């Protein structure tokens, strides 16, 4: 198995991009990644695209072909594959790309993710997202994603004394980080009170506890580590790529407050990289809801179970803190185009490790981790990246 490096990254702005179509978004992200890698299109062997619900959001399937075609690669007949694992589609597309290069099957691979969520009304979007839960045994009973995570939050609060203020402090921090990210959907700071006074979506989660509906795309160019320096002076190396599944339904989880797929994927990634949570300098984690970031902190081993709320409130996860979490603004402030999120997380790690993250730069960071979750924890993907091989 070969080591793999990221030699180029690209990302669109995130937000309600009324003027841009799905295909334009992906092409924009892909082209900027290719430019960043300084390679010719003809070099590309394969393309993996993460997308959750083209069928429902834009009534378009067969996205692999669509994207290859509109990226101008149809005449080269490259292998192009759409990858789906709900909100973890992007992370999984990245992992498929890494596996393709590591195995030696392909040399230069584009791994991207894209989602166009605003072409349908909010109810349709919510309904489509609910497909990431068990339609027959959760959705049909009235479960929504905020509802499912609210039930995690409720039990976390009951069991560990986590407070609504602590949940809100996740949003406040991520908005602060987002304010330094020119591509973020929300670049405004918010206060704890603003979160607590915002509309209740699913008690105890307010609307500011939830990530927004977002259009966007992100892409990375992958190459064998041995040749990475041919393309760039600052390749970022993949130190671990791990994936785990858990029960589809939240109610079947052994512990409702633990995303055990995250724990499993995290442990596999640490083992693969020969690292422990202490070695991670910063992370982009899946904060689809504020409680999700708190659980991620715990399930990835950054803090003990039950201490994620306190840790966030104490500033431990802020830029400049012990373990900065979501310097991009996370899903909460940067936005959450579901299929793109897992790839955007890797883009942020690369920018940070290259020292190109601008005002939100984490000084001296060497090792970064991404954590991408599908549904309420049915899929978790964890990647670890480093400046050194």
Partner 1 sequence: MSVPRFWRRLKNVYNLIGTQCENCGMYYYPPRSLCPKCRRSSLIIPFKFKGEGEVLTYTIVHSATKDFEKHVPYILAIIKLNEGPNLTSQVICSPEEIHIGMKVKSVFRKLGEESEKGMIYYGTKFVPLLNHSGK
Toward partner 1, which CB reaches closer, 154 or 239?
154
Toward partner 1, which CB reaches closer, 105 or 137?
137
* Shortest Cβ 305–partner 1 spacing (Å): 16
Toward partner 1, which CB reaches closer, 35 or 124?
124
Are 285 and 293 within 8 A, CB to CB?
yes
Are 328 and 348 within 8 A, CB to CB?
yes
The token duo for 257 is: 């407050």
Q: By the criterion CB under 8 A, which residues form the site for partner 1?
A: 123-124, 126-127, 130, 134-144, 146-147, 150-155, 158, 199-205, 207, 249-252, 256
What is d(CA 198, CA 173) in angstroms, rounded to the nearest whole number?
Answer: 16
* Shortest Cβ 370–partner 1 spacing (Å): 28
Q: Is 87 a known active-site residue? A: yes
* Shortest Cβ 213–partner 1 spacing (Å): 12
Q: Please pick, among 106, 206, 336, 371, the residue that the annotation labels catalytic.
A: 336
Give CA 295 to chain center in angstroms.
15
Q: Is 336 a known active-site residue? A: yes
| Short-list 284, 33, 89, 277, CA closest to 178 | 284
Toward partner 1, which CB reaches closer, 46 or 205?
205
Cβ-count burial 301-335 (b if 16+ within 10 Å, e if not) = bbbebebbbbbbbeebbbbebebbbbbbbbbbbbb
What is d(CA 51, CA 116) in angstroms, rounded to the nearest whole number?
Answer: 9
Q: Please pick, among 87, 210, 295, 334, the residue that the annotation labels catalytic.
A: 87
Toward partner 1, which CB reaches closer, 133 or 346?
133
* Shortest Cβ 83–partner 1 spacing (Å): 25
Q: Which residues are catalytic?
A: 87, 336
């Amino acid at each position: 198995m070969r080591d793999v490096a990221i030699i180029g990254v690209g990302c669109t702005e995130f937000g309600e991009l009324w003027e841009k179509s799905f295909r334009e978004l992906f092409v924009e992200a892909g082209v900027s990644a290719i430019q960043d890698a300084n390679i010719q299109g003809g070099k590309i062997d394969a393309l993996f695209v993460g997308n959750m619900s083209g069928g429902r959001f834009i009534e378009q399937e067969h996205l692999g072909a669509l994207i290859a075609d509109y990226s101008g690669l149809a005449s080269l007949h490259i292998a192009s594959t759409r990858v789906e694992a709900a909100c973890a589609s992007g992370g999984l597309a990245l992992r498929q790309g890494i596996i393709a290069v590591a195995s030696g099957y392909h040399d230069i691979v584009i791994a991207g993710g894209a989602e166009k969520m605003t072409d349908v009304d909010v109810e349709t979007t919510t309904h489509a997202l609910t497909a990431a839960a068990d339609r027959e045994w959760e959705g049909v009973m009235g479960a929504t994603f905020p509802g499912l995570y609210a039930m995690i939050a409720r039990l976390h609060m009951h069991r560990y004394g986590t407070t609504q203020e602590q949940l809100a402090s996740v949003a406040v921090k991520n908005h602060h980080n987002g304010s330094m990210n020119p591509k973020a959907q929300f670049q405004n700071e918010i206060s704890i009170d603003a979160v607590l006074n915002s509309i209740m979506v699913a008690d105890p989660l307010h609307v500011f506890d939830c990530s927004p509906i977002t259009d966007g795309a992100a892409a990375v160019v992958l190459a064998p580590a041995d040749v990475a320096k041919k393309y760039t002076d600052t390749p970022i190396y993949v130190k671990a790529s791990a994936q785990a599944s858990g029960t589809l339904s939240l109610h079947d989880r052994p512990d409702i407050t633990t995303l055990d797929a995250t724990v499993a994927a995290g442990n596999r990634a640490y083992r693969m990289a020969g690292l422990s949570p202490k070695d991670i300098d910063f992370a982009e984690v899946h904060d689809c809801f504020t409680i999700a970031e708190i659980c991620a902190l715990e399930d990835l081993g950054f803090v003990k179970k039950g201490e994620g709320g306190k840790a966030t409130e104490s500033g431990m996860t802020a830029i400049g803190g012990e373990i900065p979490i979501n310097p991009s603004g996370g899903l909460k402030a940067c936005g959450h185009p579901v299929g793109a999120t897992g790839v955007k997380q890797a883009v942020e790690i690369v920018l940070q490790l290259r020292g190109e993250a601008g005002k939100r730069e984490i000084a001296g960071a060497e090792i970064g981790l991404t954590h991408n979750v599908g549904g309420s924890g049915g899929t978790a993907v964890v990647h670890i990246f480093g400046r050194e091989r």
